[in-house]
Amino acid sequence: MANRHKHAAKMELKKQTKTAAGLVSERFPEISDIVVHMTYFQKGANIVLMVRTVNIFPTSFAYFNMDCMIKGCDGGGFDLTEAVAAMAKSRKKVKKGTIACCGTIDSLPADHASIEYEIVIQYV
């Protein structure tokens, strides 16, 4: 029962954070489409955890923090907000990079996960 309340509170906080970020059309009116290609990596034998593509539209929230996919990671994730904002400011169309998860898990090292990303932005 306590876990259900904890999860509900966590989801409500995430919803509030997304709402506070505003819409892409409000923050970046010059952007018509954002596509983020990500490859998640983890420590261990099977290093590629997941390959994922996220489409972000003008009606989407301007929230670019992708969750860490490692179960039990606390406070982690991959924040692409600065990368998207810098691209929009300079009207750059493609950016590639790598980010390590900053979260913590008791039994795993601090660098337990990372992503390689490619952000592609189309402008109006």
Report how far residue 50's alpha carbon sits from residue 52's, in angstroms, rounded to the nearest whole number: 6
Beta bridge partners of 53: 37
pLDDT the model gives residue 46: 72
Q: Is residue 9 part of a domain?
A: no
Q: pLDDT tens, position by position, for the chain (124 residues)?
A: 567 777 787 778 888 888 888 899 999 999 999 999 999 998 776 788 889 999 999 999 999 998 888 777 877 889 999 999 999 999 999 999 999 887 877 766 567 889 999 999 999 9
- For position 108, what pLDDT does the model report? 61
Domain count, the chain: 1
Domain membership flag for residue 57: yes
**What pLDDT is stored for residue 109 in this prediction?**
59
Range of the domain at 97: 22-123
Residue 83, domain member (yes or no): yes
In a domain, 5, yes or no: no
Distance CA 71, CA 110 (A): 14
Phi, psi of 105 (to 5 degrees): -135, 130
Residue 15 lies inside a defined structural domain of this protein = no
Rounded to two decimals, the pTM is 0.83
Residue 32, pLDDT score: 95
Please report whether residue 34 resides in a domain. yes
The answer to whether residue 17 sits within a structural domain is no
Indicate whether 11 belongs to any domain.
no
User: CB burial class (10 A; 0-12, 13-18, 19+) of residue 54?
Assistant: middle
Return the pLDDT at 31: 95
